[in-house]
Amino acid sequence: MIIGIRRKPLIGLIFLVMIISVSLLLWEHFKFSEPPFVIIGDNKVLSKLHINVYMDRDEGPNSWNTIFLNGKPYQTDIQNVDRFIVYVNYDNKLFIDYSYDNIAKMVNDSSIAPNTLLFCEINSNIVLSDSLKRCKDVEDGKPGLRKLLPLEDIINRDVSEAKNNQNIKDKSGEKSFICDLRKSFFEITNHQS
């Protein structure tokens, strides 16, 4: 009779451990997993690309990484990112920067994450799309295309926006902003292959 009493708590404990284990497995299965950045497009264009991404996280450390350099992708931890800022340098001649909130994470749907970047040459312009998957689908002037521009055009645009948003308050702030922007395009960060 004493043996029977001891088995009930043991069986209950085993049952509780099983429930917790199954719950953890289900949690991992349904938890959002950010798809990696995939860089595709014309090989001629890809061979001259340098892409840095700043990853802003509300929880955890922000990070800054080179994800693509001269035709070679680099993996980085992009989980739990709330906002991405992408900096593209093509052959140190043409540039673009843009940012987006990680809506895919907010709605737990990785299929809508704009992490596949397509780069094509159209009419001697280098363009970027985060919605198309093939260069033959790209048409000049199509919505969603971003044309890469000379650095001075990008700097002038971003400085103007920063002044309008009152992020730049004086000449010293403007110089610092421009220095950081240039660094964002040219710096090669720690990356893993």
pLDDT band at 29 (very low <50, low <70, confident <90, very high): very low
HSE (side-chain half, CA atoms, 13 Å) at 141: 0
Q: Which residues, including other chains, have CB under 8 Å from residue 27's CB and lie 6 or more apart?
A: none
Which tens digits make up the pLDDT trace of 54-112? 999 888 888 899 999 999 999 888 888 888 999 999 999 999 999 988 877 777 766 76
pLDDT band at 30 (very low <50, low <70, confident <90, very high): low
What's the pTM?
A: 0.78
Q: What is the pLDDT of residue 59?
A: 84
Nearest-angstrom CA–CA distance, 46 and 94: 13
Of 100, 53, 101, give the one whose Cα is nearest residue 76.
53
Q: Answer for the pair 138, 122: CB distance below 8 angstroms, yes or no.
A: yes
Q: What is the pLDDT of residue 5?
A: 53
Distance from the first to the final alpha carbon of the chain: 63
Both tokens of residue 45?
Answer: 């264009």
Q: What is the pLDDT of residue 191?
A: 53
Q: Is the pLDDT of residue 23 over 80?
A: no
Average pLDDT over residues 34-48: 91
